[in-house]
Amino acid sequence: MEFDWNGVTHVTKVDPAKPLPGDLGVLAGTDLILVGGSDGVTSENTLDAIGELESAAPDVPVFQEPYSGDHVTRETVERADAVAIPAVYNGDRANFVGKHVDLFTEVARKPEEVLGSSVPFVGDAIREQATEAIVDLVGSLFGEGYVVQNPDATAAATAGVAGTYTPDQVAGAALATEAFYGFPVFYVEYSGTYGGTEDVTAAARYLEETTLLYGGGIDGEKRAREVLEAGADAVVVGDCFHDDPAAFRATIPE
């Protein structure tokens, strides 16, 4: 997946299961939009949200961030600029390996959906064409190394999080992301609550190539600045985009 993360300091997380704010002009200045939630997400509401966001903010890249392979269809992959798939270190096995292999298995066994259902699957040339088309299609999918640090968040239940990580473990997960798994993003997720800067500081120490995202409880300029100064490359802002447009505006760095 080719995307230039340099200069991305503010990310808006849009939950497609929630109503969008009336004035999408508030998005001016955000660098990237992630469309994803932890409950009630479907491929249909994802496509609806992508459509509205693209019209309102045509210059801002829009990524899909699914928590289940059911949300990912050929259409969502084609409409979104990329698909960011969380790999939750402190989740259950399904959320680090299982869902990912299931998704790619589903894609791999449906070449007719990639080339069109009328294509007769006979002969090596057609098979090769199908394989290339599939490799092309999945080229916009990438993994996000993810830690869910608010045990009460819906995201924690959805990802099978049994316990949160200590700052030392967060640092370890960050180092593994950078040096071993090679995901382009490491995401410290406190969804719904502010986690402070300790985890960000711990993770930032080991990340050079990897983009460090922090999300959770960013509700204005002060917390956004704190987290960025602690070493996050970007803040992710979710709830207050939906609930408080004025506060949301203040989270976007000047």
Per the listing, tokens 């340099």 go with: 6
Q: Does 191 bind ligand 1GP (CB under 6 A)?
A: yes
Q: Token pair of 13, please?
A: 């997380």
Per the listing, tokens 């064409």 go with: 129
Minimum distance of ligand 1GP from residue 214's CB (angstroms): 8
Per the listing, tokens 């004025």 go with: 246
Q: Does 184 bind ligand 1GP (CB under 6 A)?
A: no
Instruction: Pick between residue 12 and residue 43 the one whose CB is nearest to ligand 1GP.
Output: 12
Residue 168, H or E segment:
helix 167-176
Instruction: Pick between residue 192 and residue 196 the one whose CB is nearest to ligand 1GP.
Output: 192
Rg (CA), the chain: 18
CB 64 within 8 A of CB 35: yes
Q: Does 11 bind ligand 1GP (CB under 6 A)?
A: no
CB 211 within 8 A of CB 200: no
Would you give the DSSP letter of residue 194?
-
Q: Does 199 bind ligand 1GP (CB under 6 A)?
A: no
Q: Does 218 bind ligand 1GP (CB under 6 A)?
A: yes
From the list 83-91, 94-102, 135-143, 236-244, the region that binds ligand 1GP by CB under 6 A is: 236-244
Instruction: Pick between residue 95 and residue 130 the one whose CB is nearest to ligand 1GP.
Output: 95
Q: Residue numbers of the site for ligand 1GP (CB under 6 A)?
A: 13, 189, 191-192, 215-218, 236-239
